[in-house]
Amino acid sequence: MARLFSEVNKGRVRMRHKRRKSSPFPFNNAGGRFSVSFAVWISVFLVLFIYFISQITEKTDGKLIRVHPNHLSVTYELEDIEEEPNFRLPPPHKRNPRAVKRRGSKKKPPAYSEFLDESSELHSVLFPDRRLAVGPNAGNDSSSTGYFYPGHVWLDTDGNPIQAHGGGILFDDRRKTYYWYGENKDGTTYHTQPKGTARVDIIGVSCYSSKNLWSWKYEGIVLRGEQQNVTHDLYKTNVLERPKVIYNSKTNQYVMWMHIDDGNYTKASVGVAVSKSPTGPFTYLYSMRPHGSDSRDMTLFEDDDGRAYLMYSARDNVDFHIGPLTEDYLGLTGVMKKILVRQHREAPAVFKHGGTYYMITSGCSGWAPNRAMAHAAPSIMGPWENVGNPCVGGNRVLRLTTFFSQSTFVLPLPGLPGSFIFMADRWNPSNLRDSRYVWLPLKVGSLADEPMDYSFGFPLWSRVSIFWHKRWRLPEGWKNVN
Ligand code: GAL
């Protein structure tokens, strides 16, 4: 930005210098030539004018609705800005005494860490009762069919809570089916040390299949934790997190990459597994330290040209690394770029729109939520720039905590260019198996409800927006819109 300013200032000096010689009018006296500076200012004015026109807002039934003349009408409803006026953090003196005691009275915990304690007032708001579960067999009336309820228990077609945390989705073109893979955390939460991270033993990676993204059939555990062999990467007391699966059309294999660690998170590696079928079983191949570096939260991204990339938090989560996979997707080429340097980010979710690459990340605060950041890049290998907090609506606390969740994946919605589903985890560290899913509509090119914190509000990149909704569904005919 400093460079941009100095360029602008140099420009001003040059302009002042020129003006002394030429007429102050747009057409100079000599030959009626159009002044360059006038043309520049006219262009700037026009761009700003178009930008402000596109931000016209209307008020309907007390709800703020933005009008986007350039967006598909079927997705308008996804962009309603829903406020959450009744959601309030308890005042400090009403804070849960157990939570305050645990952290010591001198240290003031961040307001939203309140939710970490199961007995807090806020907990039941963020983790609604099982009676409010949603899903195909939830037993509620048909009016909730097809609706996503962020934070509610979500049941599969057998009526069991979905266990696919830190997950990602593969659309299998040949089967025209979505497969959702994620950590099965259906075990007892425990701590190895009193102040250590809450954890569950590795159970494995679950897989669910769906045609409509709402009704999910359990396909079983497609990669199992190891019960006997203590030296195995997947031995139950180790860590398997954030599995992601992509399909390699050259080898006709489904390839899974995941974060592999020991119980203390010092192994900091990635693991690779393969299968001939999307529903497994996957064969675990090996783990490695990518590019010789430690690696924790990670994700995969497959580009339109069939090249795939691994991105991961490196150097104790201080930086991020990105590098292409080999053609068979089983390893890494030697190429690696450092991105988001010294930004301390994790939980990456990458997607692409209109030739630009985007990524959502979280800050590093374990299971506790924090403020998301969107990043954009003209090329997958960077340079990546921060483009602000994508969260829109709800209220300030919800926006500063990514709606009390942490990113894991962004799924493009076929037929709706620029529309995606943002998938995140609302972790429950007191009972990890009861962690919830926060799925919300994400749009590129939509508008912010707070000033963009980059480029002084001047949009160099398209805005990435994740819209808060208590309940929402995919627009009618979302698969068929072309
Ligand atoms: C988070 C990370 C999760 C999990 C957790 C453990 O920072 O994103 O995937 O590792 O820490 O505390």
- The verdict on the CB of residue 346 being under 6 Å from ligand 1 is yes
Rounded distance from Cα 442 to ligand 1 centre (Å): 23
Closest by CA position to 464, among listed 400, 379, 375: 375
Structure tokens at 169: 């989705």
| Residue 461: CATH number of its domain | 2.115.10.20
Ligand 1 centre distance from Cα of residue 122 (Å):
22
Is position 69 within any domain?
Answer: no
Phi, psi of 114 (to 5 degrees): -50, -40
The reply to whether 126 falls in a domain is no
Please indicate whether residue 347, judged by its CB atom, sits closer than 6 Å to ligand 1: yes
Per residue, the 3-state secondary structure of the chain, as one string, reads CHHHHHHHHHHHHHHHHHHHHCCCCCECCCCCCECHHHHHHHHHHHHHHHHHHCCCEEEECCEEEECCCCCCHHHHHHHCECECCCCCCCCHHHCCHHHHHHHCCCCCCCHHHHHHCCCCCCHHHHCCCHHHCECCCCCCCHHHCCCECCCCCEECCCCCECCCEEEEEEEECCCCEEEEEEEECCCCCEECCCCCCEECCCCEEEEEEECCCCCCEEEEEEEECECCCCCCCCECCCEEEEEEEEEECCCCEEEEEEEEECCCCCCCEEEEEEECCCCCCCEEEEEECHHHCCCCCEEEEECCCCCEEEEEEECCCCEEEEEEECCCCCCECCCCEEECCCCCEEEEEEEEECCEEEEEEEECCCCCCCCCEEEEECCCCCCCEECCCCEECECHHHHHCCCCCEEEEEEECCCCCCEEEEEEEECCCCCHHHCEEEEEEEEECCCCCCCCCCHHHCCCCCCEEEECCCCECCCCCCCCCC
197 lines ligand 1 (CB under 6 A): yes
Question: Which pLDDT belongs to residue 458?
Answer: 57
Average confidence (pLDDT) over 196-200: 92
- How many Å lie between the centroid of ligand 1 and the Cα of residue 430? 14
Torsions phi, psi of 459, nearest 5?
Answer: -75, 100
Give me ligand 1 centre to Cα 38, in Å: 54
Ligand 1 centroid from CA 46, angstroms: 46
The verdict on residue 102 lying in a domain is no
pLDDT score, position 438: 98
| In-domain check, residue 334 | yes
The stretch 218-246 carries a mean pLDDT of 98
How many domains does the chain contain in total?
1
Q: In ligand 1, which atom is closest to the CA atom of 406?
A: 8
> Dihedral, CA atoms, 168, 171, 177, 182, nearest 10 degrees?
-10
Please give the number of the atom of ligand 1 that sits closest to the Cα of 365. Answer: 7
Q: Which band of pLDDT confidence, cut at 50, 70 and 90, is reported for residue 188?
A: very high
pLDDT value of residue 40: 74
Average pLDDT estimate for 425-451: 86
Using pLDDT thresholds of 50, 70 and 90, give the confidence band for residue 110.
low
CA of 200 to the centre of ligand 1 (A): 12
**Ligand 1 centroid vs 311 CA: distance in angstroms?**
16
* Residue 116 pLDDT exceeds 90: no
| Residue 114 beta carbon below 6 angstroms from any ligand 1 atom | no
- Gap between the Cα atoms of 376 and 373, Å rounded: 10
Q: What is the mean pLDDT of the chain?
A: 83
59 in a structural domain: no
Atom 5 in ligand 1: residue holding the nearest Cα? 366
* pLDDT cut 70: percent of the chain above it: 76
pLDDT at residue 132 in the model: 93
pLDDT at 453: 52
Q: How far apart are the CA of 420 and the centre of ligand 1, in A?
A: 24
pTM, to two decimals: 0.83
Q: How far, in Å, is the centroid of ligand 1 from the Cα of 453? A: 27
| Rounded to 5°, angle at Cα 423 from 218 and 367 | 95
Q: What is the mean pLDDT of residues 208-223?
A: 97
Could you tell me the pLDDT band of residue 80, with boundaries at 50, 70 and 90? confident
For residues 386-390, average pLDDT: 93
- Looking at ligand 1, which residue's alpha carbon is closest to its atom 4? 366
Q: Whose CA is nearest to atom 6 of ligand 1?
A: 366
Pocket residue to mutate for ligand 1, from 427, 428, 430, 432, most atoms within 8 A of Cβ: 427
241 lines ligand 1 (CB under 6 A): yes
Instruction: Give percent above pLDDT 90 in the chain.
Output: 63
Q: Is residue 198, in this structure, part of any structural domain at all?
A: yes
Does a structural domain hold residue 330? yes
| Cα dihedral sign, 236-239-242-246 | negative
CB under 8 Å to 218, separation ≥6 — which residues?
A: 156, 157, 158, 160, 162, 206, 207, 208
pLDDT at position 456 is 58
In a domain, 31, yes or no: no
Domain range for 160 is 134-467
Mean of the pLDDT values across residues 127-155? 89
| Residue 370: count of CB within 10 angstroms of its CB | 18
Is 388 a pocket residue for ligand 1 (Cβ < 6 Å)? no
pLDDT digits (tens, 9 = 90+) for 8-63: 343 333 333 333 333 333 334 434 455 777 777 777 777 666 555 444 443 333 34
By alpha-carbon position, which residue is closest to atom 1 of ligand 1?
366
Lowest model confidence (mean pLDDT) among 116-125, 244-253, 404-413, 431-440: 116-125
Task: Taking residues 296-304, report their average pLDDT.
Answer: 98
Query: Bigger pLDDT: 135 or 81?
Result: 135
Residues 226-252: b if buried by 16+ CB within 10 A, e if exposed:
beeeeeebbbbebbbbbbbbbbbeeee
Residue with token string 């006997």: 228
198 CA from centroid of ligand 1 (Å): 10
What residue has token string 């960077």? 382
